[in-house]
Amino acid sequence: FDNSLQLPLFNADGTRWHIFDMLDEQPFTMTLDLVNTRANCSDITIQQNRPGVNYVLIPISSCIHQPDDVTISVTFPLPSHQLSIQLNITGASFVGGIRLCLRGPGQANGTNILHAVNACRLFSTPNQTVSLVTTVSIVLVKVVNQTKPLKVGDESQYDGRWTVTFGE
């Protein structure tokens, strides 16, 4: 048994491991739970802020009032892995906290296994509402494990996953 950390080098033919393509192409969905709010779904828009462009609206997949009647769950697809997203609430609504979730499906393709992403974090301050402008950053790091075969001639197996870190 041998375990070591190594840089992912290109194959001899100049191609890279297929698991990296799978990681780059994994679609993400974000869910924002607005906790302790009186905002309505019609008051909420999501936009992607882009350099040199004002913004691009992102369609909301679903907006659901939870049974507690003070939480709204807004779900939308992310168009890419590197982007700046802004949630806008029109009107005089307050938000007691935000639960942010990032999700992506897993898949298997031959000897490559892409693991699902399901990461959530609650952002709140006791006895306060969320400020008028709140910024949250998410850092994604690719982690790939290569399992070499015991039998000569067999293929290596690659397991890929994203490590998700939430910051404020």
More confident residue, 124 or 64: 64
With left for phi above 0 and alpha for psi between -120 and 50, is residue 127 left, alpha or beta? Answer: left
Distance CA 45, CA 74 (A): 10
Q: What is the pLDDT of residues 55-92, one digit of tens each?
A: 999 999 999 988 877 899 999 999 999 999 999 988 87
| Interatomic CA distance for residues 93 and 42, integer angstroms | 12
Q: What is this structure's pTM?
A: 0.85
What strands lie across the sheet with 53-58, from one edge to the other? 53-58, 44-50, 84-89
Q: What is the pLDDT of residue 94?
A: 83
Percent of the chain with pLDDT over 90: 51
Residue 108: phi, psi to the nearest 5? -120, 140
pLDDT digits (tens, 9 = 90+) for 9-56: 666 665 678 899 999 999 999 999 999 888 889 999 999 998 887 899
